[in-house]
């Protein structure tokens, strides 16, 4: 039985990846940072019905000793580093924390693997936010990066350090440059889930408006359940490499809102209000990924269409509020 260690196991991607790997017969070990909210920390795993199937262990990206101990104890075949301070807006308010966790945390994972279990395979969760102020109409692996937030800069450091450990020490270390990927498990602070949660509340009469920031920003949105398959495929390759994972379709925040409202028979224009407080200090206007390399080398291609994704998220949020009312 193969063993996989996942950091960020209680997040959206960690939960979907855990379910995927369990389906492949893996023993899944999830690293969690001990906190006073441990009673609710596994809610996403519980939502997918797999909380009891994942071995949860204590560790912290900022504590190299804990990572060395985990690697030495479990000797995982595959390590997926998904943990990060992952909310872009927060990174302007907490740039040092973001740099430490999102940037240096990845290097701590790489160093722990190098020191104790260098034969293990490593996946780094890189981000399309690294492209930032885009240098090409469609962004591929060779497109220059131009990060526009502390989060993106921290991700870029982690990305290049993954390349460096691969080239310097021969680690099987790959990065997935994932474009935006959503699901019913997305945090409500992210714009897609903020929209679908708002639509659910409005449909059920719990709210009367939805506040958004820059509705003209466009993103390449896919389903997290699709994207975790790409993570796994990268670590099955003989040669490690970096891959853009995207749908190749970009739509605006406004268009996503239109889809979500239309799913419940409403018009976004009747409820959306622009809130200047939600605007970013530096905006990433457009992201559009070119995943042709992943399709060619991994045999991966996005399956869930945006319309399906929006509908699934709205339905899940409506169901959540209906359960609360019972």
Strand order in the sheet with 27-32: 55-58, 27-32, 3-7, 78-81, 121-127, 172-178, 242-245
Which residue of the set 16, 26, 151, 227 is catalytic?
Answer: 151
DSSP letter string over 77-115? SEEEE--S---HHHHHHSHHHHIIIIIIHHHHHHHHHHH
Q: Residue 284 has which token pair?
A: 């990433």
Dihedral Cα 165, 126, 107, 12, nearest 10 deg:
-130
Residues recorded for the chain:
326
The answer to whether 158 and 103 are in contact (CB under 8 A) is yes
Told to judge if 174 belongs to the known catalytic residues of this protein, a careful annotator would answer no
**Please, which contacts does 69-72 make with residues 24 or more away whose CB atoms are closer than 8 Å?**
70/5, 70/29, 70/31, 70/112, 71/5, 71/112, 71/113, 71/115, 71/116, 71/117, 71/120, 72/116, 72/117
Which residue of the set 18, 66, 127, 175 is catalytic?
Answer: 127
**Alpha-carbon separation of residue 111 from 107, 114, 297, 299 (angstroms):** 6, 5, 28, 31
Told to judge if 151 belongs to the known catalytic residues of this protein, a careful annotator would answer yes
Cα Rg of the chain, angstroms? 19
Q: Residue 212 has which token pair?
A: 């958004």
Which residue of the set 78, 111, 129, 255 is catalytic?
Answer: 129
- Backbone CA torsion sign across 182, 186, 187, 188: positive
Residues annotated as catalytic are 127, 129, 151
């Amino acid at each position: 039985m193969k063993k996989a260690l996942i950091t960020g196991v209680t997040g959206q991607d960690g939960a979907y990846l855990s379910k995927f790997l369990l389906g492949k017969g893996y023993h899944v070990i999830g690293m969690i940072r001990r906190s006073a909210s441990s009673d609710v920390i596994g809610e996403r795993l519980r939502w997918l019905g797999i909380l009891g199937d994942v071995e949860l262990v204590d560790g912290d990206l900022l504590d190299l000793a804990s990572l060395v101990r985990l690697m030495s104890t479990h000797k995982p075949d595959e390590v997926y580093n998904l943990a990060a301070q992952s909310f872009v807006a927060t990174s302007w308010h907490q740039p040092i924390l973001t740099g430490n966790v999102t940037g240096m945390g990845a290097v701590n994972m790489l160093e722990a693997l190098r020191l104790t279990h260098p034969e293990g395979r490593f996946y780094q969760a890189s981000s399309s936010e690294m492209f930032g102020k885009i240098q090409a109409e469609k962004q591929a692996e060779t497109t220059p990066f131009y990060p526009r937030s502390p989060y993106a800069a921290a991700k870029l450091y982690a990305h290049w350090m993954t390349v460096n450990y691969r080239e310097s020490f021969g680690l099987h270390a790959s990065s997935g440059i994932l474009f935006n990927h959503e699901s019913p498990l997305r945090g409500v602070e992210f714009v897609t889930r903020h929209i679908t949660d708002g639509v659910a509340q409005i449909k059920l009469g719990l709210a009367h408006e939805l506040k958004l920031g820059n509705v003209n920003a466009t993103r390449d949105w896919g389903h997290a359940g699709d994207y975790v398959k790409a993570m796994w495929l990268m670590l099955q390759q003989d040669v490690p490499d970096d891959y853009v994972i995207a749908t190749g379709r970009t739509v605006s925040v406004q268009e996503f809102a239109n889809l979500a409202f239309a799913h419940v028979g409403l018009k976004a224009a009747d409820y959306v209000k622009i809130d200047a407080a939600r605007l970013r200090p530096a905006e990433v206007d457009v992201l559009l990924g070119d995943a042709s390399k992943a399709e060619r080398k991994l045999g991966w291609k996005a399956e869930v269409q945006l319309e399906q994704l929006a509908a699934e998220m709205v339905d899940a949020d409506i169901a959540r509020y209906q359960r609360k009312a019972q």
